[in-house]
Amino acid sequence: MEPIRETMKRVVNAPAFSERYNEMRREVLEHPGVQKFLEENAAEVDKNVVDKGLGKLYEYIYQSHDCNKCPGLGDCINTLKGFEPNLVLERGNIGIAYTPCRLKNQYDNKRRASSLIHSMYMPKEVMQATLADFEPDASRMEAFRAVTEFLDKATGPDNLPEKGLYFYGKFGVGKSYLLSAVANELAEMNVKSVLVFVPEFMREMKQAIGDQTLQEKVDYVKRADVLMLDDIGAEAMSSWTRDEVLGTILHYRMAERLPTFMTSNFSYSELQHHLTYSQRGEKEDLKAARVMERIKALTEPIKLDGKNRRN
């Protein structure tokens, strides 16, 4: 039987193998990424180093770079999904280091941003809102400008404008959508937001008395970096939820100068009228005025109008 060493020598020296090897070597050395690497490391890389590292160079060129061969993160063709190869020198030899690719960074950033937004009873489709998809027509331009001014002033969790916005108008004009879009923009700045659908929240607060979680839930909401109260005025407000829940939250945020956003179908004056009458029909002007004073201290009113975009 022919010794294995002699067999390998005969195969390697065969014309067909030599031709394929030279073709592969030429293809590798013509790759722009390889050429750049060799230029940057010309003082340390000679022909012997290249020949020893040809396998690594070949592995490098047939993978995706800057996601140019991948339609999406889930269809990544690289050895490590979501990571792109970079040529490196390791103790005088050519090696490959893998770093997160552009698509993986985008995915990770999106997941991180999502973790900074806590939604309480808000619809999932609303939570995916973006300012890029908000149509600032004439009836909504004032709201769009107010939002961009707020975001321009916000540079991070430690530098936020003290005053938020109060969006009001008829059903379906984009008030809730705009809240979520702002929350997503703030998340890109590492700012945490809590979005609360007020009618459902108030119903849960009544139940929280029984399971002794009321204070914990109120404290969580009132201390949010940015609080967004959606659809205030749509709930059947009792004296207790108005004064002990909503009033407590607003008083804390006013004292701590924490930005607060709200949406409502009511203007300021209409909301005050709504807050004046309890479920029992009792008229409580002073208590309603006290809550409204806090709302006015925390927000600037902006009307949204236009067509109903839910239809």
Q: In this predicted structure, what is the pLDDT of residue 74?
A: 86
CB count within 10 Å of CB 133 equals: 9
* Cα angle value 277/281/283 (rounded, 5°): 45
Q: In terms of C-beta density within 10 A (0-12 exposed, 13-18 middle, 19 or more buried), how is residue 43 classed?
A: exposed
Hey, what are 285's tokens? 């002007």
Does residue 108 sit within a domain? Answer: no
Q: Print the domain residue range for 291.
A: 116-303
| Type of residue found at 304 | L
Place of tokens 């900074």: 116
- Domain end among 103, 135, 168: 103
- Domain end among 58, 78, 103: 103
Instruction: Output the pTM of the full model.
Output: 0.66
Place of tokens 């009033």: 247
- Output helix, strand, coil percentages for the chain, rounded to the nearest 5: 50, 15, 30
Check whether residue 166 and residue 299 sit in a common domain: yes
Check whether residue 244 and residue 291 sit in a common domain: yes
Mean per-residue pLDDT for 4-18? Answer: 54
Check whether residue 73 and residue 188 sit in a common domain: no
Does residue 295 sit within a domain? Answer: yes
Does residue 216 sit within a domain? Answer: yes
Check whether residue 275 and residue 158 sit in a common domain: yes
Does residue 153 sit within a domain? Answer: yes
CATH of the domain at 262: 3.40.50.300
Confidence of residue 232 (pLDDT cuts 50, 70, 90): very high
Q: What percent of the chain has pLDDT over 90?
A: 44
Check whether residue 185 and residue 152 sit in a common domain: yes
Q: In this predicted structure, what is the pLDDT of residue 3?
A: 53
Does residue 195 sit within a domain? Answer: yes
Check whether residue 161 and residue 14 sit in a common domain: no
Does the CA dihedral 53-54-58-59 come out positive or negative?
negative
Q: In this predicted structure, what is the pLDDT of residue 217?
A: 86
Does residue 84 sit within a domain? Answer: yes
Q: At what angle do helices 268-276 and 285-298 cross, to 10 degrees?
A: 150
Domains held by the chain: number: 2
**198 or 104, higher pLDDT:** 198
Q: In this predicted structure, what is the pLDDT of residue 8?
A: 44
Check whether residue 52 and residue 130 sit in a common domain: no
